[in-house]
Amino acid sequence: MKTRSIDLFDTTLRDGTQGEGISLSSDDKMRIAKRLDQAGIDYVEGGWPGSNPKDMAFFTRAKSHRFQHAKLVAFGSTLRYGNTPDTDPNIQALVEAGTPAVSIFGKTWLFHVHQALGITDRENLNLIRQSIAYMVAHDKEVIYDAEHFFDGYKDNPDYALRTLEHAARAGASALVLCDTNGGTLPQEVAGIVRTVVARFPDCVIGIHAHNDGELAVANTLVAVENGCRHVQGTINGYGERCGNVNLCSVIPNLQLKMGYDCIIPEQLEKMTAISNFVSEVANVAPFDHQAFVGKSAFAHKGGIHVSAVMKDPSTYEHVAPEIVGNHRRVLVSDLSGKSNIHYKSDELGIDLLSYGDKVPEIVQALKNLENEGYQFEAAEGSLDLLIRKITGEWTDLFELKGFRVIIEKNERMEIRSEATIRLLVNGEEEHTAASGNGPVHALDIALRKAICKFYPEVNQMQLSDYKVRVLNEKDGTNAKVRVLIDSVNNGTSWGTVGVSENIIEASWQALMESMAYYLQQQKITTENHS
């Protein structure tokens, strides 16, 4: 029975944007902040208003929005030595941000106090006390981030604890222990957190972990286990250097495995969706192998694994994927067995019960093709056609008689690509030509021209991505390549694959199958409706 709750503090919009390749406009920040609010996050740190105009613009916009659950937080440092709170630009920017809460970081490690700030131990303590007291006097909830706390504690535990005492006495609502360099080990975190919790029994103690040692999640869970009740992190683990702790991993672990209340189950079911949303807004490709929410988190490839999962998913899944809004995937490859084929066929809508004798042939065909360099994990369109071809359910809608591709570069340094195709479509030979930006583009246009007279619906689909992978690099320009083409129509997407020593031939295979699969699906849909 859950009796313990955790305060979730998201810093994607501030610490997350310090990660390489992450940049968010004020509009982007507003969109993400709204989703974090809906996701049940308690505190959303929007940025550092004293550091740049973009963050200040975000806070100005946010004033007109009413958050339903989350408290918006502005971030800043303690006041600069020599200033007073009412003259310090950073402190005044925090006030002007208009947020109900602020997070202020101060120096804990004497190495930074002496080297970075160039001030005395006592002067640093005064900066912490004055900054927090001033914000409390302005009716702000203050969350104090003790920067480099673990390094500072290991260097001088007495002084590190004194910085927390000054923050607590000044009115901070939470004392957050930061592993700023991300190099602390879990056993160190456990012991230090226990000491801090015992020293400040009436304070909320928090953890802010970085991932430089690949230990951010472990350190956060250990910190909570030893008394922390405030957790800071980012969606997808975005952040400086190796990133911050990933809330998409921490929240499910805390809630599903450690018995803490973080968010309601309905919000947990949207964890995968918010992970994908943030990566989309940040224009960063999702990490497929991310725990809980990644595309591969519940993907099964080995035949023995798939056979067991079909009987009971818990045999190879530590939680049900639906709990975090993800779903189970079964892959097919040279490691596949009959169970993979049956599962995939059901997923593709192919009834193999009537073709039981064909399953071994399908498995062997897959193994042979994968040995040649084909890969069907991301090419379900090609897999569908392969299975239907072996079972006799695939009828060729067009047959290639030949194609030619010409690439010309003239004296003006202009490159011209032209493709000619001869096809047999419904017993009629079609001979078409087309120019394009490149050879594959020209082939695409020529192929559409050849078949659209018979199947005009082909113009409703389009190619959305084109990837080339060299399979045997040691062969240089003579290497075999694998081409993967992604196609889309009305929100539905599919992948097809081609392999050859000739990149144009590999592209043709994938291109032809992308259209053949689409027309096959259209035919099946029409038959089902008739």
| Residue that is last in its domain, among 243, 263, 283 | 263
Number of alpha carbons in the 13 Å side-chain half-sphere of residue 73: 30
- Decide if pLDDT at 337 tops 70: no
- Decide if pLDDT at 114 tops 50: yes
| Residue that is last in its domain, among 263, 284, 308 | 263
Output 375 or 255, whichever has higher pLDDT: 255
241 — phi, psi (to 5°)? 55, -110
Verify that 34 and 183 share a domain, yes or no. yes
| Residue that is last in its domain, among 263, 292, 323 | 263
Q: How far apart are CA 163 and CA 9, in angstroms?
A: 22
Q: How far apart are CA 11 and CA 245, in angstroms?
A: 10
- pLDDT interval class at 2 (50, 70, 90): very low
Averaged pLDDT for residues 114-118: 93
What is the token pair recorded at 251?
Answer: 């929240």
Q: How far apart are CA 33 and CA 129, in angstroms?
A: 30
Q: How many distinct structural domains can be found in the chain?
A: 2
Name the residue among 109, 94, 75 with its Cα closest to residue 180.
Answer: 109
Averaged pLDDT for residues 143-160: 98
- Decide if pLDDT at 347 tops 70: no
Q: Is residue 139 included in any domain, yes or no?
A: yes
Tens digit of pLDDT for each residue in 461-478? 998 889 888 887 777 777
Q: Is residue 300 included in any domain, yes or no?
A: no
Please give the pLDDT value at position 129.
98
Output 331 or 497, whichever has higher pLDDT: 497
- Decide if pLDDT at 249 tops 60: yes
Q: Is residue 80 included in any domain, yes or no?
A: yes
- Decide if pLDDT at 3 tops 50: no
Name the residue among 294, 277, 295, 387 with its Cα closest to residue 340.
Answer: 387
Averaged pLDDT for residues 119-143: 98
- 192 SS3 class: helix
- Decide if pLDDT at 168 tops 90: yes
Tens digit of pLDDT for each residue in 297-319? 998 877 677 678 778 888 888 99
- pLDDT interval class at 522 (50, 70, 90): confident
- Decide if pLDDT at 434 tops 80: yes
Contacts of 118 (CB under 8 A, 6+ apart): none
Q: What string of DSSP letters covers 470-501?
A: ES-GGGGGG--EEEEEEEEETTEEEEEEEEES
Q: How far apart are CA 487 and CA 464, in angstroms?
A: 5
Averaged pLDDT for residues 86-97: 95
The pTM for the full model equals 0.72
Lowest mean pLDDT among 81-85, 181-185, 366-370, 426-430: 366-370
Amino acid at 23: S
Output 357 or 35, whichever has higher pLDDT: 35
The per-residue pLDDT of the chain, averaged, comes to 90
Please give the pLDDT value at position 284.
85
Q: Is residue 318 included in any domain, yes or no?
A: no
- pLDDT interval class at 529 (50, 70, 90): low
Lowest mean pLDDT among 16-25, 327-336, 507-516: 327-336
Please give the pLDDT value at position 1.
33
Please give the pLDDT value at position 161.
98
Q: Which domain holds residue 428?
A: 398-529
Number of alpha carbons in the 13 Å side-chain half-sphere of residue 476: 1
Output 279 or 529, whichever has higher pLDDT: 279
Please give the pLDDT value at position 188.
98
Tens digit of pLDDT for each residue in 195-236? 999 999 999 999 999 999 999 999 999 999 999 999 999 999
- Decide if pLDDT at 333 tops 50: yes
Tens digit of pLDDT for each residue in 75-87? 999 999 999 999 9
Tens digit of pLDDT for each residue in 5-31? 999 999 999 999 999 999 999 989 999
Output 322 or 339, whichever has higher pLDDT: 322
Q: Is residue 377 included in any domain, yes or no?
A: no
Averaged pLDDT for residues 325-344: 68
Q: Is residue 522 included in any domain, yes or no?
A: yes
% of the chain beyond a pLDDT of 70: 95
Q: Which CATH number is 8's domain given?
A: 3.20.20.70
Please give the pLDDT value at position 39.
95
Q: Which CATH number is 417's domain given?
A: 3.30.160.270
